[in-house]
Chains A and B, each alone.
Chain A
């Protein structure tokens, strides 16, 4: 945005400068040609008044680097028709000064550079159409400009040829003008940058606020100030925030009610089973109810989402893995740990326990036992949970992360999964800036790998 504005401003500035220069050039051209025309007609009148033998002396006195005067009897007038429209205008000026009865021919020549210091100087016809076009229109920019070659016939029939170089002044000297122009441009750009910042700062603030809103729905509403458009946008964002808060509140209320009722029913059923006589059916019923409870808890947990900001602390990852191993072993699972974490990790230990536990649960469920590999590098932690089981086909490696998706072999097992374990594990890892991926057929077996980047520790005390 700043770039576009800047580019636009620089272009506009350059354009206005060009227009300015062209305009001043024209005015300058008019006044200088008028002077030159007067000068030439004065000389022509003077020469006409003196004897032919005195003319040469006068001519040599009057010739200088700007005006070359040559006397001749029959001038080489190649093109008696004056070139348009500058030459014609110059011719008209001469005619006005001299009177209509003087034969006058004006030709446009390009003043040559190489004899600029000689007197009389020479001029040449513009080499081609482009050259002529450029000379005619931009002569005041070209340092050497161009020359009018004027043939005037005196009353005694002889001819005088004037080669007049149009003088150029500061206007034509771009190298003098340039620093001033650059300075002007720099000031303009600086002012523009300030203006752009002034305009874009509220936008940036708003972008930040919108981002904060995405992370924390209960962040403070936006300040409705600044230009009208900004205020309107801020208002719209604030309204959106209110709606979202309402929606989240409604959903949370509904979830709480639903979960309370479901859990109440399961609790009742579970207590009722205790009153049933001991039988295979009773045991199956108890198992089903336990699965149902797991499912309800996992679903609620999934719908609840992960709030990474809560409960962050510096914790011992090795101890976390070991505590999971011990808990798992107390449930009769086989879990081993390889490697250690070198340094404490900053994150949410409760969430990461759940993340790791879900993966261990899968490994034991589908691969009979789990091995946790801890690898600690300076840039992050890698925790791989591997099992010797068959794993899942490679085309399902991503699909199993979808909520409630269950890979085919996972169905019909004794311990039915919720279809949410991997999704929750990944959500937790991602909330920590990392990820969970699955790797089939590694030397360690089928592995679920948690990558956790090491955050720069905010230096807060954990107590």
Chain B
């Protein structure tokens, strides 16, 4: 890391703003805070910001609308924060261009992990004004906001969180050999839990989910002594 990332915290709750500021600064980030939309816009004009943690429920203009505004203006990654329960909120937030979504109350470490993950994704290149909404590959379709994998037969295939994560990594780097270390690094960008399995087990689970035969896989192929490769073209929908 060169300079610490500058994070803008937008939340109408004074305590959460200052606590989050203190916590994130404790993790080495620089932070700014804003209580509402106008304050956020003002700050964005004056200061270069690397990532915005945006609360959904704000007085006046709400988080959804601010998210749209930010997307129209710039590429600054957004993590949405909300105390609402609807899963539709998450989908809507991601559809509007948020990069990730964290529900209140959250584990502070989880938020840091998400911030780290989003920042890494943005730095590693696939950064553009457009957020990928869906991938299609070999007649499969993965909708990102909904986290839904649709088989070629049109059947929804539920995924575990780790399966989804791994599949997204492969889809972001199609036709590229990914070493085990790279996969582990990307998968466990968040702090590795004590129960995390070996990457090989995860790959074999994912193959199984995609209807691939472990001995003769068509989609995720093993590259001897190197790693794995997603051996198919991937189309993106923005």
Contacts and interface: CB of A to CB of B under 8 A. Distances in A.
Interface stretch (A150-158, A312-320, A398-406, A421-429): A312-320
Interface string A238-271: 0000000000000000001001100110111011
Interface in B151-194: 151, 153-163, 193-194
A289 B105 contact: yes
A189 interface: no
A267 B105 contact: yes
A350 B148 CA distance: 10
Contacts of B107: 270
Contacts of A297: 85
A103 B195 CA distance: 128
B62 interface: no
Chain A interface mostly = helix
A353 B158 contact: yes
Contacts of A263: 83, 104-105
B156 A316 contact: yes
Interface in A280-326: 289, 293, 297, 300-301, 304, 313-316, 319-320, 322-326
Interface stretch (B18-26, B34-42, B219-227): B18-26
B193 A330 contact: yes
A304 B87 CA distance: 12
Given A264-B83, A332-B195, A271 B154 contact: no
A463 B163 contact: no
Contacts of A129: none
A42 interface: no
B195 A323 contact: no
Interface in B194-216: 194-197, 205, 208-209
A322 B202 CA distance: 12
A324 B154 CA distance: 21
Contact of B157 (A316, A329, A332): A316
Contacts of B197: 329-330
Given A270-B108, A322-B209, A324-B160, A259 B20 contact: no
Interface string B91-109: 0000000000000111110
Contacts of A276: none
B87 A350 contact: yes
Interface residues of B, number: 40
Given A270-B107, A271-B108, A463 B141 contact: yes
Contact of A462 (B26, B156, B194, B196): B156
Contact of B106 (A267, A323, A350, A353): A267
A323 B159 contact: yes
A61 interface: no
Contact of A323 (B15, B105, B108, B163): B163
A264 B16 contact: yes
B31 to A, nearest CB: 13
Nearest to B205: A326
Interface in B50-85: 57, 83-85
A267 B57 CA distance: 14
A314 B156 contact: yes
Contacts of A289: 105
A124 interface: no
Nearest to A264: B13
Interface size class of chain A, counting residues whose CB lies under 8 Å from the partner chain: 35 or more
Nearest to B202: A326
A274 B108 contact: yes
A456 interface: no
Contacts of A409: none
B84 A259 contact: yes
A183 interface: no
Nearest to B19: A271
A333 B57 CA distance: 35
Given A268-B15, A463-B150, A463-B154, A327 B160 contact: yes
Interface string B129-162: 0000000000001000000001101111111111
A326 B163 contact: yes
B57 A260 contact: yes
Given A268-B13, A271-B23, A313 B105 contact: no
Interface of A: 256, 259-260, 263-264, 266-268, 270-272, 274-275, 289, 293, 297, 300-301, 304, 313-316, 319-320, 322-327, 329-332, 344, 349-350, 353, 461-463
10 contacts: A259-B84, A267-B105, A271-B19, A275-B23, A319-B159, A326-B162, A330-B161, A330-B197, A349-B156, A462-B155
Interface of B: 13, 15-16, 19-20, 22-23, 26, 57, 83-85, 87, 104-108, 141, 150-151, 153-163, 193-197, 205, 208-209
The 4 nearest A-B residue pairs measured at CB: A326-B160, A315-B156, A271-B19, A263-B83
Given A301-B85, A344-B153, 12 more contacts: A266-B105, A267-B106, A270-B108, A274-B108, A275-B23, A315-B158, A316-B151, A319-B158, A322-B209, A330-B160, A330-B193, A461-B154
